[in-house]
Amino acid sequence: MLESGKSATSWTPPREFDPWNATTRAFWARVARNPDLHQQIKSWLDQVLHMLERVNKMGRATEGLWELDETQFAEPAISVLAIAHPDFVPYYARFLTVWDMHHEVSQKDVISQIFASHGITEATENLLIARIVDGVGQYGYDNFCEMLPLLQEHYGKIEGTDFYKRMAAYHHAASVSSYARVLQNKFDNYRYDFLRDKNPQLPKLSELLASFFPEGQPKPYEGDLELFDDLLRKQ
């Protein structure tokens, strides 16, 4: 029976909503097993990511989009998809850049399960880089350390590998980019070229503004290599 006086924001379902319920997880698992649906789902995920990017630009007043108190928007869908099929791992990496990772709940376990499902691949390496650089949140470095045995089994020695240098390079590029934006916001006369004149080790601006995983990669900065070396020594 319809109730009058109910607004869209005050209405609640008759039962407690659980976005991780078994029926929902089974649905997305079936989608992952059906390649004919993949392109449509990827197009939908692209639209969701674009929407979340726009929401984030609106500022803190929106408090982001959540499905529930501890579930970020589209989190159950992309989590099941990425665990079930490697084609969706890059999308999970992209969601790490738009979710509120300072209030993460399930991401650490999901990323661990993604690695358990697919092992070390280019996609899972990029996921770990995204985790360290843009989605570090509360447990990003814990995730990295948890993956160390798997990485060491795959590489033998991680230090010196292209993956290790690439991770350090992007970590540094993101830090420099953030610092440059702060300067440009406060002082219009500051430009990134000026920063590079004073700090020639910084990557070129074109490298910072390229897509998240560009063809050409900025040179790793020694300070960031030391950061990851310290993590390894603590294990």
Which helix (DSSP H) or strand (DSSP E) does residue 112 occupy? helix 107-118
| For the ranges 55-59, 93-97, 198-202, 214-218, the one whose mean pLDDT is highest | 93-97
What three-state secondary structure class fits 70?
coil
Give, as one character, the DSSP assignment of residue 37: G
- Helix (DSSP H) and strand (DSSP E) numbers for the chain: 11, 2
Kindly report, residue by residue over 14-73, the tens digit of the pLDDT.
667 789 999 999 999 999 999 999 999 999 999 999 999 888 887 654 467 889 888 999
Phi-psi region of 63 (alpha: psi -120 to 50; beta: other; left: phi over 0): left
Please state, in angstroms and rounded to a whole number, the distance separating the CA atoms of residues 3 and 51. 32
Give, as one character, the DSSP assignment of residue 215: S
For residue 63, the model assigns a pLDDT of 64
Phi, psi dihedrals of residue 67, rounded to the nearest 5°: -85, -30
Please state, in angstroms and rounded to a whole number, the distance separating the CA atoms of residues 179 and 195. 10
For residue 184, the model assigns a pLDDT of 45
Reported as a pLDDT band with limits 50, 70 and 90, residue 77 is: very high
Helical pair 140-155 and 222-233, crossing angle rounded to 10 deg? 80
Please state, in angstroms and rounded to a whole number, the distance separating the CA atoms of residues 176 and 207. 11
Reported as a pLDDT band with limits 50, 70 and 90, residue 166 is: confident
Q: C-alpha 7: how far from its chain's center?
A: 35
Q: How many residues does the chain have?
A: 235
What three-state secondary structure class fits 68?
strand
For residue 71, the model assigns a pLDDT of 94
Burial (0-12, 13-18, 19+ Cβ within 10 Å), 1: exposed
pTM over 0.85: no
Top pLDDT among 208 and 168 is at 168
8 Å CB contact between 47 and 95: no
Cβ neighbors of 66 (< 8 A, separation 6 or more) are 72, 73
Kindly report, residue by residue over 118-163, the tens digit of the pLDDT.
999 999 999 998 998 888 888 988 998 899 889 889 998 887 788 8
- Is pLDDT at 192 greater than 60 in this prediction? no
Please state, in angstroms and rounded to a whole number, the distance separating the CA atoms of residues 183 and 228. 27
